[in-house]
Structure 1
Amino acid sequence: MQIHVVQQGQSVYGIAQAYNVPVEDLIRANELQAPNELVVGQALVIPIIGSYYWVQPGDNLFSISRKFGLSYQQLANINRINVNQPLPVGFRLYIPPQKKTSAEFNGYVEPRGASVSQNLIDSAREAAPYLTYLAPFSFQALRDGSLKEPLLNDFPNIAKANNVVLMMVITNQEQDQFSDELGRILLNDMAIQNRFLNNIVSTAKKYGFRDIHFDFEFLRPEDREAYNRFLRKAKQRFSQEGWLLSTALAPKTRADQKGKWYEGHDYKAHGEIVDFVVIMTYEWGYSGGPAMAVSPIGPVREVLTYAISEIPSKKILMGQNLYGYDWTLPFVPGSISKAISPQEAIEIARQHKVSISYDQEAQAPYFRYFDSEGKQHEVWFEDARSIQAKFNLIKELNLRGMSYWKLGLSFPQNWLLLNENFEVVKRA
């Protein structure tokens, strides 16, 4: 699989010809809405086996082979060149496909409103072959220990048909906002807690959930140990049923990190108690903040580097956004940006005839444009390059895999590259 960045004057036909692939395959792989109007800076996935590398200044056969985990003799043999042959800048080398790494993938689905949209159902069905877990969001805990159920629609059947573990996501939300008071009650009132656990067990059996996933956020600092005790108790209970236990964790960089989002989460304890964690490594750029990359690679790496110092790496799923944001400039505190899919971002750039840039430090694409009212916008999103950078980080840090927030947003290149990089673990 090759990632190609569109240059000025290039067409879908010329690119297809350069890589010797059918135009229809290139259009289909990238779900190009307007194939005759490519955007300069747009990243395309080229559906070929392996990839090509063009020699850069300072390259030699040895340095290139190390980049791709090959010996220089292998690389020379594959390309039918002499090991001592000088490599001119621009010379094209074929790189064979690399061995896939086994990894697990989770996809959250968040039904909103009175019914589940057909788009969300279709998205879950299309993603399911690439998932280990499917996670309807969410069962909301109530103060008496009962549960408010989300719309499940056909999600249990989609999971079953694709050998995907159905994940029961449970939150301490009230009116769709995380509540520290609800958390306090559930973690400290033993009568309510026991009723809560009984309700979880009966509900999980009813629908066929096989992983119980707690996403408890904004907990009081003084409830940190109570949360750990609760998880130990839940683990013992769920293990009797043969179920997994997992948790969602805020993106911390040290154990004593201050802030309402962080202090209730004990990385080391979760790493010892639960089967795996989802670390929410996204929302640096968020709807209520200034324009920036949603999951810049530097901060993501910093969080995960700390995480693996406290939690076994094979218990960690990296959180990954399947969306971007469109901000109106200048940023005004209190304003809300619009969430968009990667495909929508490209379409906005095409409609406004602007080029897409790529921030090498953040490893994320972005662009600016003016709307019909003359207001300037800044868009940050995900593309083939940015998601490949995250896949590389999973392999480098030997993580369990990745968890997507959230399905329903079109990003076809993600699934193609996932399949290129990984052998998806199926546990069902």
Structure 2
Amino acid sequence: MNIHVVQKGESLWTISKRYGVNIEQISTANQLKNPNALVIGQALVIPSPGREYIIQPGDNLWAIAQRFGISVQAITSANQLSNPNDISAGQVLFIPINYHTVRSGESLWTIAQQYNVNPANIAKVNHITSPYTLYIGQVLRIPEIARPSKEVNAYITTLGSSAFENIHQLGRYLTYLSPFTYSIKEDGSLTELNDTAVISAARSEHVSPLLVVTNFVNQDFNSDLAASLLRNQSVQELFIKNLLAIMQEKGYNAVNFDFEYIYPEDRENYNSFLRRVVSQLHPKGFLVSTALAPKLTSEQKGVLYEAHDYAAQGKIVDFIILMTYEWGWAGGKPWAIAPINEVKKVLDYAVTVIPRNKIMMGAPLYGRDWKIPWQEGSIAKTVSPQKAIQLAQKYGASIEYNTTYQSPFFRYTDETGQQHEVWFEDARSAQAKCDVVKNYRLRGISYWVLGNPFPQNWLVQENNFKALKLV
């Protein structure tokens, strides 16, 4: 898979000719609303011909297998398909066995570039002793690219009918699905959540349901509510009993505690509470995890940070989701949502006190549109990456890319004369995050939040690693 950045004067036709990939494959991969209206600076995912196939409307797995001369089972296994008869347009399929017929003017190097593999590996599997002995019509086997397995979580806040389509389309890319949210109550009970249908949908895609518990009330995190639980052991025992009942009744496999804005004096109370939870949930086969604010040091000040004890929780729980996003928050100045240089600073500290195989890096599936000049008190509008591209098309903006933040952005002026600045995610920023997960040897990645269309993200993720399946 390649990532191409649209230049002035380019069309989808010229891009398709450059990479030897038909227009329909590129258009479907990127879910282009108008293939004839590309934006200068727009990033496009380009499938590797013969190695990756983007399912088109009307396709079936048998016909695709026939096209590539392999079995349906080989494709099903390579792509972790839960049901070979249940595929949808836009999905990427990895073709596990590839063959290439040498054409005039081709060399081992140009063929290797086409499939994004090492020329030496092609030579090895085809017993080629000299790279200069290729001949026209020669059939070469193209070796598979080994992809590591990583755990992938996604939070979901919309649990209605649209959620089922999301889960159906994206379930193959996920290890966990986290419906948001159950909230604690002062008496040790939990609020209700209409999550039965999404849990069933997740399990049908071999995705593990992850129960999220927060100190959330009236659309905000409440410090006093957290304290009422963390300072009372009898309430904790009632809470754990109620939590277990819900997990067992509904079929959850794990729990994620997203307690935010905890009073600093409750730091050790939180650690002790987690030890108590683990001691009772582990014997019953449940995993325990937490979501933590992005810290740079153990003693970082602020009510968001102080009670989040990286080192202690790294020993207590099974894994930790680091919320490495929201630098560009809705109430703040225009900025990248997850600037990669800032994300790395958090990870550079985290890996010194938390085992790498317990860290899941947070990543956003959204962008924001700010009015500029920015004024204190103004709130940015949240937009999906697809919507951001549509805005750039509508207002004739060119997309720029900040290499320090590894994030795209652009500015435009609307019909009223109001200027805007938009920061969002694209294939390049998604690739940068996958590179960090691999380079830091992390457990995996966790997304906030499903419901914002970003088809490129899933193709990039699939190109970098397989989602580990626990169900």
Give the TM-score normalised by the residue count of structure 2.
0.81
Please identify, of 154-163 and 236-245, the stretch whose mean Cα deviation from structure 2 is larger: 154-163
* Structure 1 residue 97 displacement after superposition: 6.4
Work out whether residues 366 and 384 of structure 2, in 8 Å CA contact, stay in contact via their aligned partners in 1.
yes
Q: Deviations over 1:221-272 (max 9, x none)?
A: 1100000000001001001210000000000010000011000100001100
> What residue number does 1:108 align with?
155
2:13 partner letter: Y
Q: Deviations over 1:165-219 (max 9, x none)?
A: 1100000111121111111110111221111111000011110011011000100
Look up the SS of the partner of 2:315 in the other structure. helix
> What residue number does 1:19 align with?
19
Q: Does 1:136 align with 2:184?
A: no
> What residue number does 1:3 align with?
3
Q: Does 1:379 align with 2:422?
A: yes
Q: Matches of residues 65-214 of structure 1 in structure 2 within 5 Å?
A: 98-111=145-158, 116-214=159-257
- Structure 1's 232 and 175: CA in aligned 2 closer, same or farther, altered over 3 A? same
> What residue number does 2:406 align with?
363
* Structure 1 residue 125 displacement after superposition: 2.1
Work out whether residues 362 and 447 of structure 2, in 8 Å CA contact, stay in contact via their aligned partners in 1.
yes
**Counterpart Cα distance in 1 of 2:151 and 2:396:** 39
1:229 partner letter: S
**Counterpart Cα distance in 2 of 1:155 and 1:262:** 32
**Counterpart Cα distance in 2 of 1:260 and 1:96:** 52
- Structure 1's 257 and 14: CA in aligned 2 closer, same or farther, altered over 3 A? same
Select the residue among 247, 251, 276 that pairs with 2:290. 247
> What residue number does 1:220 align with?
263
* Structure 1 residue 423 displacement after superposition: 1.6
Q: Deviations over 1:52-71 (max 9, x none)?
A: xxxxxxxxx9xx99xx995x
Q: Does 1:304 align with 2:377?
A: no
Select the residue among 450, 453, 459 that pairs with 1:410. 453
Q: Does 1:41 align with 2:41?
A: yes
Q: Percent identity?
A: 44
Look up the SS of the partner of 1:154 in the other structure. helix
1:238 partner letter: L
Look up the SS of the partner of 1:404 in the other structure. strand
**Counterpart Cα distance in 2 of 1:174 and 1:163:** 32
* Structure 1 residue 120 displacement after superposition: 3.0
- Structure 1's 277 and 346: CA in aligned 2 closer, same or farther, altered over 3 A? same
**Runs (4+) of structure 1 moved beyond 6 Å?**
75-78, 80-84
- Structure 1's 425 and 196: CA in aligned 2 closer, same or farther, altered over 3 A? same
- Structure 1's 364 and 82: CA in aligned 2 closer, same or farther, altered over 3 A? farther
1:348 partner letter: L
Work out whether residues 281 and 319 of structure 1, in 8 Å CA contact, stay in contact via their aligned partners in 2.
yes
Look up the SS of the partner of 2:284 in the other structure. coil
Look up the SS of the partner of 2:195 in the other structure. coil
1:41 partner letter: G
Please identify, of 275-284 and 185-194, the stretch whose mean Cα deviation from structure 2 is larger: 185-194
5+ residue gaps, structure 1, are 52-60, 85-94
2:151 partner letter: E
Look up the SS of the partner of 1:147 in the other structure. coil
1:108 partner letter: Y
Q: Deviations over 1:15-39 (max 9, x none)?
A: 1122111211111100000100101
- Structure 1's 297 and 75: CA in aligned 2 closer, same or farther, altered over 3 A? farther
Work out whether residues 121 and 143 of structure 2, in 8 Å CA contact, stay in contact via their aligned partners in 1.
no
> What residue number does 1:31 align with?
31
Give the TM-score normalised by the residue count of structure 1.
0.89
Work out whether residues 281 and 320 of structure 1, in 8 Å CA contact, stay in contact via their aligned partners in 2.
yes
How many residues are aligned here?
Answer: 400
* Structure 1 residue 98 displacement after superposition: 3.9
**Counterpart Cα distance in 2 of 1:76 and 1:360:** 36
2:153 partner letter: N
- Structure 1's 28 and 375: CA in aligned 2 closer, same or farther, altered over 3 A? same
Q: Deviations over 1:76-119 (max 9, x none)?
A: 999x99999xxxxxxxxxx98642111000010012xxxx4433
> What residue number does 1:56 align with?
none
- Structure 1's 76 and 331: CA in aligned 2 closer, same or farther, altered over 3 A? farther
**Counterpart Cα distance in 2 of 1:185 and 1:298:** 37
Q: Does 1:257 align with 2:257?
A: no
**Counterpart Cα distance in 1 of 2:231 and 2:144:** 53
* Structure 1 residue 322 displacement after superposition: 0.2
**Counterpart Cα distance in 2 of 1:82 and 1:402:** 42
Work out whether residues 196 and 250 of structure 2, in 8 Å CA contact, stay in contact via their aligned partners in 1.
no
**Counterpart Cα distance in 2 of 1:329 and 1:82:** 60
The one of the two structures with greater contact order (alpha-carbon pairs below 8 A, sep at least 6) is 1
Select the residue among 379, 382, 405 that pairs with 1:339. 382
> What residue number does 2:322 align with?
279
**Counterpart Cα distance in 2 of 1:82 and 1:331:** 62
Q: Deviations over 1:357-396 (max 9, x none)?
A: 0001110000000011101000000000001001001110
Q: Deviations over 1:284-329 (max 9, x none)?
A: 0010000010000100001011111010001000000000000000
Work out whether residues 359 and 444 of structure 2, in 8 Å CA contact, stay in contact via their aligned partners in 1.
yes
> What residue number does 1:324 align with?
367
1:130 partner letter: Y
Q: Does 1:353 align with 2:419?
A: no
Q: CA RMSD in A?
A: 2.3
Please identify, of 41-50 and 333-342, the stretch whose mean Cα deviation from structure 2 is larger: 41-50
> What residue number does 1:231 align with?
274
Please identify, of 154-163 and 238-247, the stretch whose mean Cα deviation from structure 2 is larger: 154-163
> What residue number does 1:91 align with?
none
Work out whether residues 328 and 336 of structure 2, in 8 Å CA contact, stay in contact via their aligned partners in 1.
yes
